[in-house]
Amino acid sequence: MHRPHAFVLFIAALLSSAGIHAQGSGNLAALATFLDKTTPAPNRQAIFDVWNKAALGGDADAQYLVGTIYRRGDTVEPHVAERDATQARRFLSTAAAHGRLLAMAKMAEIELADDRPLEAMIWAQVYGAYRGWVGNDTRDYGERNERQPTLYFEDLLRRASKRLAQKFGDERTAEVLAGLNQFVAAHDNDVRAGMAREGLSPQWARGQARFENAKSLRRVGTFVHDTISEWVLVFSADGRVTSAEVIDAIPAFKNASGHHGIVTQYETTAAGKDAAERYALKTIDLKKADWPLGPTITR
Per-residue confidence (pLDDT) for residue 140, from 0 to 100: 58
Strand order in the sheet with 278-290: 241-250, 228-235, 278-290, 294-297
Rounded Cα gap, residues 187 and 134, in angstroms? 18
pLDDT, one tens digit per residue, over 82-112 is 999 999 999 999 999 999 999 999 999 999 9
Same domain, 164 and 30: yes
Domain that holds residue 175: 6-193
Residue 215 falls inside a structural domain: no
Residue 240 DSSP one-character state: B
Residue 201 falls inside a structural domain: no
**φ/ψ of residue 73, rounded to 5:** 80, 145
Same domain, 252 and 186: no
Q: What is the mean pLDDT of the chain?
A: 85
Tell me: pLDDT of 288 over 80.
Answer: no
Number of domains in the chain: 2
Same domain, 16 and 93: yes
CB 259 within 8 A of CB 227: yes
Residue 209 falls inside a structural domain: no
Per-residue confidence (pLDDT) for residue 273, from 0 to 100: 82
CB 201 within 8 A of CB 194: yes
Rounded Cα gap, residues 125 and 131, in angstroms? 10
Alpha helices, DSSP H, located in 212-297: 260-263
CB 107 within 8 A of CB 123: yes
Same domain, 287 and 164: no
If one compares 33 and 22, the residue with the highest pLDDT of the two is 33
If one compares 298 and 27, the residue with the highest pLDDT of the two is 27
Helix H or strand E segment including 297: strand 294-297
Whole-model pTM: value is 0.86
Residue 28 neighbours by CB under 8 Å, 6+ apart: 205, 208, 232, 279, 280, 281
Same domain, 53 and 181: yes
Angle between helices 101-113 and 85-97 (to 10 degrees): 150
- CATH code where residue 100 lies: 1.25.40.10
Same domain, 123 and 265: no
Residue 210 falls inside a structural domain: no
Same domain, 179 and 234: no
Share of the chain above pLDDT 90, in %: 70
Residue 129 falls inside a structural domain: yes
Residue 207 falls inside a structural domain: no
Last residue of a domain, one of 139, 168, 193: 193
Tell me: pLDDT of 195 over 50.
Answer: yes
Same domain, 66 and 155: yes
Confidence of residue 143 (pLDDT cuts 50, 70, 90): low
